[in-house]
């Protein structure tokens, strides 16, 4: 019998960690970011996870003025679910990070479920000559970085979301983040169906071994039962292998240049759409269907 499970593909199109020098394909201007997201949606992404950048030099920006033209173009050209970051960059204050979600009250926003060390050592080794000074400085300052998401920070963002009916992609980089999410669910602040984005393979978080996926899955099942939708994000070279394993275990998948610049060993992805197409090919080979934006809206009970 055919397996007709619908899988949501999220495309995270630019993020805040990768920098323009690392790939000529990383979208930087508002037009590039919007075009990248539209291409990803056309390839099968039902959710586009959005960061903005200062078009002058590609620096990550949470200024609503930098989001505005991107969101306008997206709304005019695609029905994809717009998911706005509240993570911004780990160098920003939480107040700065919340600005676009307060301004635009999107259907969906990311929410990072705990503090963690954030190690960018592999990138420090790989990239040495940068086009812009901020890129080098950012990576240098990441030698001993803590990505701070205290309980008070998380509560503030949840309260904004609950006021505006914005739901969340709960970014869980380790098992403790699932416990934090259960805590906020018990307090009635994190509302279901919970969209749990489990992040694997970042230095400072859980590893990227299939056993790590199993542990996340089992723990989420125990804590949330039927009240959650599980998605997988594998960083860097783990992107497609973990998407494949996760999908086979029942997850949705997230890809995009925010999470990996690559499409194969030593081979840069030329676009977000290329990664979405690869993920789609894998999912369809596993006899899954790719969810449309409206199907994803229904699964996640979004306001539409
Ligand atoms: N960069 C990803 C690993 C956010 O924007 O809130 C997680 C992320 C965080 O997307
Ligand atoms: Zn992000």
- Ligand 1 in contact with 149 (CB < 6 A)? no
Protein residue whose Cα sits closest to atom 6 of ligand 1: 87
Give pLDDT, residue 119.
80
* Residue for token pair 């949705």: 252
Per-residue pLDDT at 3: 56
Q: Per residue of the chain (304 residues), give pLDDT as tens.
A: 555 899 999 999 999 999 999 999 999 999 999 999 999 999 999 999 999 999 988 999 999 999 999 999 999 999 999 999 999 999 999 999 999 999 999 999 999 999 999 887 667 777 778 888 898 888 888 778 899 999 999 999 999 999 999 999 999 999 999 999 999 999 999 998 999 999 999 999 999 999 999 999 999 999 999 999 999 999 999 999 999 999 999 999 999 999 999 999 999 999 999 999 999 999 999 999 999 999 999 999 999 8
Helices within the chain (DSSP H only): 30-43, 64-77, 94-104, 121-126, 133-140, 151-164, 175-186, 210-224, 239-248, 272-285, 293-300
198: Cβ below 6 Å to ligand 1?
no
Q: How far is CA 286 from the centre of its chain?
A: 23
232 Cβ below 6 A of ligand 1? no
Q: Whose CA is nearest to atom 4 of ligand 1?
A: 87
Q: Quote the CA–CA distance of 281 and 44 in Å, as a whole number.
A: 10
Domains detected in the chain: 6-300 (3.20.20.70)
- What is the distance between the alpha carbons of residues 168 and 142, in angstroms, rounded to a whole number? 26
Placement of tokens 């999107």 in the chain: 106
Q: Tell me what pLDDT residue 302 has.
A: 98
* DSSP letter string, 91-132: TS-HHHHHHHHHHH--SEEEEE-S-EEEB-HHHHHH----SS
- Point out the ligand nearest to the CA of residue 259: 1
Ligand that lies nearest to the alpha carbon of residue 116, given by its number in the listed order: 1
pLDDT at 289: 98
Give me the pLDDT at residue 130, please: 87
> Do 42 and 115 meet the contact criterion of CB atoms below 8 Å apart?
no
């Amino acid at each position: 019998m055919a397996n007709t499970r619908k899988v949501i593909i999220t495309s995270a199109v630019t993020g805040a960690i990768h920098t323009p020098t690392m790939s000529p394909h990383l979208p930087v201007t508002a037009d590039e970011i919007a075009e990248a997201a539209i291409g990803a949606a056309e390839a099968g992404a039902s959710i586009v996870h959005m960061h903005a950048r200062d078009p002058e030099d590609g620096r990550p920006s949470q200024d609503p003025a930098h989001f505005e033209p991107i969101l306008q173009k997206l709304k005019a050209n695609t029905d994809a679910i717009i998911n706005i970051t509240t993570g911004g960059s780990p160098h920003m204050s939480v107040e700065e990070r919340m600005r676009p979600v307060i301004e635009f009250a999107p259907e969906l926003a990311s929410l990072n479920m705990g503090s963690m060390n954030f190690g960018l050592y592999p990138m420090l080794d790989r990239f040495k000559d940068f086009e812009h000074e901020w890129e080098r400085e950012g990576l240098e300052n990441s030698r001993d970085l803590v990505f701070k998401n205290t309980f008070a920070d998380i509560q503030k963002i949840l309260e904004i979301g609950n006021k505006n009916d914005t739901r969340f992609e709960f970014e869980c980089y380790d098992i403790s983040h699932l416990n934090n999410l259960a805590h906020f669910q018990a307090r009635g602040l994190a509302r279901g169906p919970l969209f749990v984005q489990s992040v694997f393979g970042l230095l400072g978080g859980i590893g990227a071994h299939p056993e790590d996926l199993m542990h996340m899955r089992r723990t989420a099942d125990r804590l949330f039962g039927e009240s959650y939708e599980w998605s997988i994000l594998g960083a860097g070279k783990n992107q497609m292998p973990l998407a494949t394993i996760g999908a086979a275990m029942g997850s949705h998948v997230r890809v995009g240049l925010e999470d990996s610049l690559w499409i194969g060993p030593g081979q840069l992805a030329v676009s977000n759409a290329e990664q979405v197409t690869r993920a789609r090919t894998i999912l369809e080979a596993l006899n899954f269907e790719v969810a449309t934006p409206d199907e994803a809206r229904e699964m996640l009970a979004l306001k539409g």
